[in-house]
Amino acid sequence: MTPMPAVRLADVSKSFARVKAVDHVSLQINNGEYVCILGPTGSGKTTLLRLIAGLTSPTDGNVEFDNRVVTGIRAEDRNAVYVPQQYALFPHMTVRENVAFGPLARGFSREESLRLADEMLSLVRLAHRAGSLPHELSGGMQQRVALARGLAGRSPLLLLDEPLGALDARLRVMLRYELRKLAKELAVTVVHVTHDQQEAMSIADRIAVLRDGRIEQFGRSSEIYTAPDSPFLANFVGGANFLEGTVVQKGPERMLVEVAEGFSLAARTSDYQVGEAVVASFRQERTSVLTSANLEENVVPGRLVSTSLLGVFLRCSIDLGRPATVVAKVPLREALDQRLPDLIGELVYVHAGPDSVCVFKRPRRALAVELEAI
């Protein structure tokens, strides 16, 4: 079965004065799909969402819902609900009335609206606060009320701008799984804007990574994570280590990149030529820290600078001298068995297997600029 496109953007651009906020974006979101638009501040993601909502009109290109062009149609006449980052709850109305406003505005009867409101409030676990006024709730609860109001209208398309932005980190993590579950239960199509890659990966069926108004990559999160199209993507989605180097050897399905004098990394690719300037990249959780160079391949010496606890992982920062600093995320129990926190300042070896090494063409700009490191 071919999936039904719920939303299609056909070569959409939007300029404000001289700034191109959205630059030739084409995108198709299928019915029932949960899509995250992920990008740094200023990448144009909110503008893109507002274009879909009809709150701003494109300078070029068309927006389609269910194969119908809606470009000229006003926001209130589109079959979509937009929940802005700055959700505005009515301060004098109870939580229940606030949520019922969603369906009321979409033409449901008062009785049906209240019933839908109660249903949504129990889904977002706020049934016990139905009679409260917004100011009596925490920021996180208020955000869930806004979400419930958006959901209660039974619109097939939900457009969410940083829907978990006002929440404390812990609550934010808990609620993202609930949000996905909710969307799937209600079978709605969701477009969710966020700057948090972990949130995007844990919630979305597909992710569109936006940078400077353009889509860098659009795909399933596992695709973007395992096969990013650029160093920027590898860094922005998941974080990685990058070492600049030169191809020194090439065989079928295998290449050797020299990243420091006398030290090379083997990679399972043959896309580049001997002598070509490249960037070798490997994920932090695929990087291990060895206390002796007991492997022959893909081992680079360095000094362990610091360790810090992330929870599941212990983050180890290793200074390789001239090339760079490398970060290894070592599963906590293994790191403690290795006594890594006691080895700060000592010589260690960094290892990433050939299967974990990605090779990119060396970017024209300086690597730090390309990666948008601070």
Partner 1 sequence: MRVIGLSKGFRDVLALQDVSLDMNDGEYVSIIGPSGCGKSTLLKCIAGIIKQDSGEIFIGDREVTSLPPEDRQLGYMFQEIALFPHMSVLQNVGYGPRVRGKDRRSSREFVGQIMEMARLAVGSETYPDELSGGASQKAALARAIAAEPELMLLDEPLGALDAHVRAALRYELRRLVKELQLTAIHVTHDQEEAMSISDRLVIMKAGRIVEVGTPLELYLTPKRLFTANFLGEANFFQATVKDCTAYQVTASVNGWTLNFAGSGYASGERVVLAARPESVILTPADRQASQEWIGTVRDRMLLGDCIRMEIGMNNNLTVIAQTPNRGLLGMVDRGETVRIDFSVGSILSYRWPAEGLDAELALE
Site for partner 1, rule CB under 8 A: 40-41, 138-141, 168-171, 173-174, 195-199, 201-202, 221-222, 225, 235-239, 283-286, 306, 308-313, 315, 317, 329, 331-333, 341, 355, 373-374
If the CB atoms of residues 68 and 128 are measured against partner 1, the closer one turns out to be 128
If the CB atoms of residues 113 and 230 are measured against partner 1, the closer one turns out to be 230
DSSP state of 43: S
If the CB atoms of residues 63 and 182 are measured against partner 1, the closer one turns out to be 182
Shortest separation between residue 202's beta carbon and partner 1, angstroms? 5
The alpha carbon dihedral of 230, 235, 236, 239 has a sign of positive
Residue that has been written with the tokens 């802005």 in this structure? 84
DSSP state of 355: G
* Torsion, Cα of 188, 28, 38, 125 (10° steps): 0
* Torsion, Cα of 334, 339, 340, 344 (10° steps): 180
Q: Is 255:249 a contact under the CB 8 Å cutoff?
A: yes
Query: Token pair of 181, please?
Result: 């579950």
If the CB atoms of residues 19 and 69 are measured against partner 1, the closer one turns out to be 19
Q: Is 352:287 a contact under the CB 8 Å cutoff?
A: yes
Nearest Cα residue to 98 out of 109, 88, 86: 88
Shortest separation between residue 318's beta carbon and partner 1, angstroms? 13
Look at residue 36 and give its three-state secondary structure. Answer: strand
Whole-number Å distance between alpha carbons of 276 and 363:
12
If the CB atoms of residues 10 and 173 are measured against partner 1, the closer one turns out to be 173
Whole-number Å distance between alpha carbons of 40 and 38:
7
Shortest separation between residue 115's beta carbon and partner 1, angstroms? 26
DSSP state of 232: H
Whole-number Å distance between alpha carbons of 176 and 324:
35
Nearest Cα residue to 303 out of 240, 243, 349: 349
Shortest separation between residue 43's beta carbon and partner 1, angstroms? 10
Shortest separation between residue 295's beta carbon and partner 1, angstroms? 16
Shortest separation between residue 345's beta carbon and partner 1, angstroms? 14
Shortest separation between residue 261's beta carbon and partner 1, angstroms? 25
If the CB atoms of residues 257 and 352 are measured against partner 1, the closer one turns out to be 352
If the CB atoms of residues 9 and 326 are measured against partner 1, the closer one turns out to be 326
